[in-house]
Structure 1
Amino acid sequence: MLKKNLLAIALLLCISSVFGQEMRNCGTMEVDARLLTEDPGYALNQAQIEEFTQTYKSSETGATRTVITIPVVVHIVYNNASENISDAAVLSQIEILNEDFRKLNSDAGSVPALFSGVAADVEIEFCLASVDPDGNPTTGITRTSTSKTSFSTTDLMKYNTYGHAAWDRDSYLNMWSCDLSSGLLGYAQFPGGPAATDGVVIDYNYFGGPAYAASPFNLGRSATHEVGHWLNLRHIWGDASCGTDYVSDTPTHNTANYGCPNYPHYSTCSGSPVEMTMNYMDYTDDACMYMFSDGQKDRMQALFAPGGSRESLLSSEGCGGGVAPTCDVPGSTSTTGITETEATLNWGSVAGSVGYNVRGRQVGTATWTEGYTTGTSINFTGLIADTDYEWQVQTDCGGGDLSAYISSILFTTSGGAATCTDIQEPNSSTGTAGTISTGVTYNALIANSSDVDFYKFTTTSPNTKIRVTMTSLPADYDMQLLNQKGKKKGTSQNGGTSDESIVWNVNSSGTRYVYVYGYGGAYDVADCYELIVEVSNSSWRTDGSELLVERVLDNAIVNIFPNPASNTMQVNYFSVQETEITLNVYDLLGNQVQTLHSQVVQGENLIKVDVNTMAAGLYIVEISNGKSSYTEKFMVE
């Protein structure tokens, strides 16, 4: 449904119950929004994949294809026995995926005549992996006990600290089963995201068929829905009122459907079409979704075309046929001499070896630091205090004969002394909040995963405008601004260690609170963040907003409005210095639509972008100041 009003990317948190009835809740778009903030290259990857998909669809629609088989590994991450789901539950889920994606599901005959002509056999199958990344036999199921009682969309279950690291995404579909909070049934990562977090997560209560999962989501369709996302399908309503899922044969939906809607269910969008409520990418109950469309099939198949984002899976040997390495892997591993900044990695000698490839990295990061030695130990230096690391080693037997890498060995560096003084503790609630003055920069620590900081400040003028800024973040910290009753007025939740800022243009005096916390339990025992509360008699903004949560670049604060825009989009750019910025606008196919260069002054700058001649749809704006860049999606009406 290629429509004019394209989707506005936003956080999608569905209500878990209405009138006592459970409702489907998918966190995929929340992850998408987070990645757009955290990963500058993610938006461009998405645009390139979309361009590739549209090109493929224009040339390959209706072509006969060979059935694709995708190896699957299921990582079961559990805190108690009930979360440690059985092998039988996993096998039932794989069977359901195969039925749904091959149109072999028993309810396929329920597709109404209006849509039966486009109900698709996607020609994709799934098998539990029988060969692991090292070439060894496997059941395709891993089991990991965790100290975490529940998980959210922050991907912590995908790292060895709290869960199980992903197998190579070029060879496997990674699925995680765990306890998801906030009523989430599951979530997925679209193609084009980080390799370390690629895959699908399903709540353990909804993994598998009727004998294992909870009603009304007990037919395994939560996994079908999320694997659809993993294969580049959007929600059928486009996550916007009358939005687009980039598929031409699915009707325009005005919003998500829940439960089991009566057929026909008419859309309120242009033309009032009958909605395809039985599509796997809607939000209906498991018993009321039972089809993919031909257009959705084309989007999924495009990923496996030459040059496609998931083409490498076609050559995976995860389901058998692999040749085990003849060069033995090292054993007798140990990590010794661990300090705040280094460690010694050790292993046993392997007969016939000429040397060893060694690699290490901080847990949760994608890039390895690699080395080579002819000995049986190597120093791993330049580390960060009180931080989790992993390392692997493989044997080089010469002539290109290499063993597999061993599974990761984990260690934690020693805790370092704080590099700053935190005089505010204890301040873990509004009742114990540390009193701070406006206009003064304070240093403070988030010393452990449960540590939080509260501050209070008082303004006496009834015409006070407040700005709170947090900088020099050593970890992913976020903050909230609370009123005198402790009620939240605003949240700043930028990704990673990006600065945080909240503006409140409120015409009243009184006591306010600032609440600082680590996102997903982030903390740093050694390094402080900086916090400052500033006040002004004039508005911090020019667009009349009372409350603003801003995006921060190096030396600048950025906000884009209105979004959607019709004639003019404005960029509010508050800079700490005079500099030149470049603003590029791209469409979703990666084509550059506009480029603007602007010399900004110290302070507030308002840059106007004429969008009157641009076609209605979704665009990407990239703003660069020479030190960093900020990317955001916006819609032209």
Structure 2
Amino acid sequence: MTGLCCLATGLFAQDAARNCSTMEVDARLRAEDPGYATRMEAIESFTQEYVSGSAGGTRSVVTIPVVVHVVYNNATENISDAQILSQIDVLNEDFRRLNADAASTPSWFLDEAADTEIEFCLATVDPSGNPTTGITRTSTTKTSFTTDDKVKQTSQGGKDAWPRDSYLNLWVCDLGGGLLGYAQFPGGAASTDGVVCDYQYFGTIGAATAPFDLGRTATHEVGHWLNLRHIWGDDGTSCAGSDLVADTPNQADENYGCPSGTRVSCSNGPDGDMYQNYMDYTDDACMNIFTNGQKTRMHALFSPGGARASLTSSTACAGGGGGGPTCDVPGGRSTTGITESQASLNWASVTGATSYNVRGREVGTPTWTTGSTTGTSINYTGLTAGTAYEWQVESVCSGGTTSGYSTSTNFTTLGGGGGGGCTDFGESNNSKGTATTISTGVTYSAQISSASDVDWYQFTTTSPNTRIKVSMTSLPADYDMKLYRGNSVRGTSENAGTANETIIWNTTSSGTRYVNVYGWAGAFDAADCYDLIVEVSNTSWRTDGSEMVIDEVWGNAIVGIFPNPAKELATVNYFSVQEDMNVQLAVFDILGNRVMNLSSEVTSGDNLIPINVQSLPSGIYVVDITNGKSHYTEKFIVE
């Protein structure tokens, strides 16, 4: 059964915009097929169980065989193979976060940005076992199609689906009424399973038409096919809906066109709406991100018992085992053991790889130094102290095929330290944009070399549930520091004099963080170095025997909810409160229904507010907390 549809309004005008009738179509499906709702509920229950038990991190890459059914009434609609291939390229780039505009993702959302580890290949074997290009072409007398699924039926002038257990069916045709495309959630009928796109909004060349000419209509619709919802939750601006993903901001409604800056809704500041998400409604040029939570939700489909698990064993692409390219770009890349003259380059093992090619160079220079190994690490030696380097790695698989090189991983060698007159490590790093990459677990020595100098560092964590401890010791002057996630301050340490500075932050997401070191009031510089180390572990800071995860800073108070997921009791922490006050809490289900109201008096200092969730069905909820001056909202899961 068809699940979602996207339309373009004001076509061929400068203000052309997407407009979907998702909930109306979904309501029709539930009315036509009572079993559809039951199947969707079962899939959602399975998904939430998978999400609750998922450890995140690197998974096996899933490659999905694709068949593109071109149903055309005239030569223009009979799009070229090249246009189809351009769309497959976009899908692979977007889902693996290899898209060039990934660089446009705001820094405050980089922690959530995900390589979904899902790839797509045009099928090379048809359902009868015969060779195929993965493209079918059907001439029709129909001048256009709608969301009634006739394009998926040969008897109605369309083309029958290939078995969904082995293929993603993509139909390309003329969709009437300004439709861009629509998709079917897992759980619908096998005969209509897949995605439909208008020929004008498919791929990046040929008939592709602006502002939907970068292939993101298919990216959006395949996201739906993989069980993703619209990012705003289709709640009619109530802020009570949910896309069933924990790491996307709660936002009021869809975004159109190409917004700029920060758009705050549903009290989701300072970061605001994630209008760059592929599941929003912005123009193709403004979409560039899936999140780790969306990745986990999609991968639930491919786990044992998942609704699309059979695709992982499809042999519809050359090589079998899920089809498609069997030589993947290595993930899990990190740089460790950095000294003044060498570093260890590391990556995750790739199934089918017989060796790896590695290349490195000083940033800004044209020449690469290359090497190869059969292992998953290599020593990069002969380096210059205090210098920025970048490196890339590719897999070499059987038959000599290669994955192509990864994107660059950057690091800076140590610049000396310890005692007076030390070299100022990592310069020039006077802004977040020029932050020096450091490794966790390594002590770095540096100095504030002038009264106006500041130091910026960046580091990356790969585990979604980590305790981050930043320590600054051996201070020669009154230095202070801040910890950032994107543009948001996550911790500050401003002890007086030369006392050590420490920030501890527990987080549920992996990604890049920044440390800013500065002299008190910008007044100090010194000839001696301070020592800085970032330590990461999976042992969280605990308060009163329960895990305390600091998620956001609400005014001067630290607000969060733990444990998340919760079974019987969820607790809101409200720490570092400056004054006594009354706090109101409301809990909403994913449909926007208010299911609980609470009121609590809090005092200055640290407070814990319990929420009994025993009576709530398993699922995703939103808690809205207000102190009379501002709101704080957060999604949490009840198991």
> Could you tell me the TM-score, scaled by structure 2's length?
0.49
> Could you tell me the TM-score, scaled by structure 1's length?
0.49
